[in-house]
Amino acid sequence: MAAVPSLPDPSLALDFCGLSFASPIVLLSGCVGFGEEYTRVEGFSNRDAGAIVLKGTTAKPRLGNPPHRVYETPDGMINAIGLQNPGVDHVIRRILPTLDFDETRFIANVCGSTIDEYVEVTRRFDDSPIDAMEINISCPNVKEGGVQFGNYPEMSARVVAACRKATKKPLITKLSPNQTDIRENARQCIEAGSDALAVINTIAGMAVDVATRRPVIGNLQGGVSGPAIKPIALLMVRKVYEVAGPQRVPIIGQGGIVSASDALEFLIAGATAVGVGTGLFYDPLLCPKINTGITSYLHAAGFASVSKLTGSLIAGAAGDCD
């Protein structure tokens, strides 16, 4: 009796805005520094991720917010770092030359307090080896710029349009969940020239020290991340997919992913790739575990590649809830 040939392993590789990702995992901005922090962890490899988003970068160096800047919450954390960074000049001249662009893709995270600053940082990264840029218009832990730009579709579109003129590299707009209609924001950002969307940024929140009756976070508020926000992020991805999917605009789905099952939910809901951030603080070696779990699922479900999962949600409830 002839042996039944074994099926080839499903592919985790995908195309994202013309860039080849070896895995659907994207390491999120602020969680791995400028790509070097986790290289000190034994067993960690940049090759386990399709792309790494570098720490948010402004035109000039920033010291960030006063302490406390990080606070653990049930199933997550609040951070209010305040975009501390050494400035775009230092990043380009001193940091980018140390990165191995053969290992993975590197995406700059562009930040600013004015449209002119966004344009300046975008222009500087355009003349660098960076593979793509993420426009951070939705950071909830700075007192100027980000929140105002990210929560209003017209302002978001103005930033995107200005940055679009400053670069030919792929632009990814990071959308805020702290707004009325994320679909309208997504639509206007796409029309303004965004090549992809990152959904979602952290959700604004705070914590109180009851002993002192003072805010725990020095900035009063910060961005809530981790498993606690996953259901919200998942719904936002689906809503944005309704706008972006028909236009074939890829989405990085992110918010509380700490397992392969979490990642699969985002892919099925409409994400092309999945962002892992706070989960790395729980488990620095999370990425290969997620890759293995996705591969196993693709095998069992008969999918030849991870890209076939994107937007494969079947309409209707999974079962009777009565």
* 139 catalytic per annotation: yes
One-letter amino acid for residue 203 of the chain: I
Quickly count: other Cβ atoms within 10 Å of residue 214's Cβ: 11
- Which pair of tokens denotes residue 313? 């949600």
- Which pair of tokens denotes residue 243? 């706008």
Asked whether 189 and 36 are in contact (CB, 8 A), the reply is no
DSSP string for 37-92: GGGGSTT--GGGSSEEEEEEE-SS-B--PPSP-EEEETTEEEE-----B--HHHII
Asked whether 213 and 206 are in contact (CB, 8 A), the reply is no
Tokens 């990152």 sit on residue: 198
Helix (H) or strand (E) holding 214: strand 214-215
In whole angstroms, give the CA distance from residue 230 to residue 179: 17
CA angle 79, 81, 85 (to 5 degrees): 145
In whole angstroms, give the CA distance from residue 150 to residue 285: 32
- Which pair of tokens denotes residue 36? 């070097």
CA angle 127, 128, 133 (to 5 degrees): 95
Among the options 139, 163, 189, 287, which is catalytic? 139
Asked whether 132 and 172 are in contact (CB, 8 A), the reply is yes
Asked whether 60 and 112 are in contact (CB, 8 A), the reply is no
Quickly count: other Cβ atoms within 10 Å of residue 196's Cβ: 25
Could you give the residue numbers annotated as active site?
A: 139
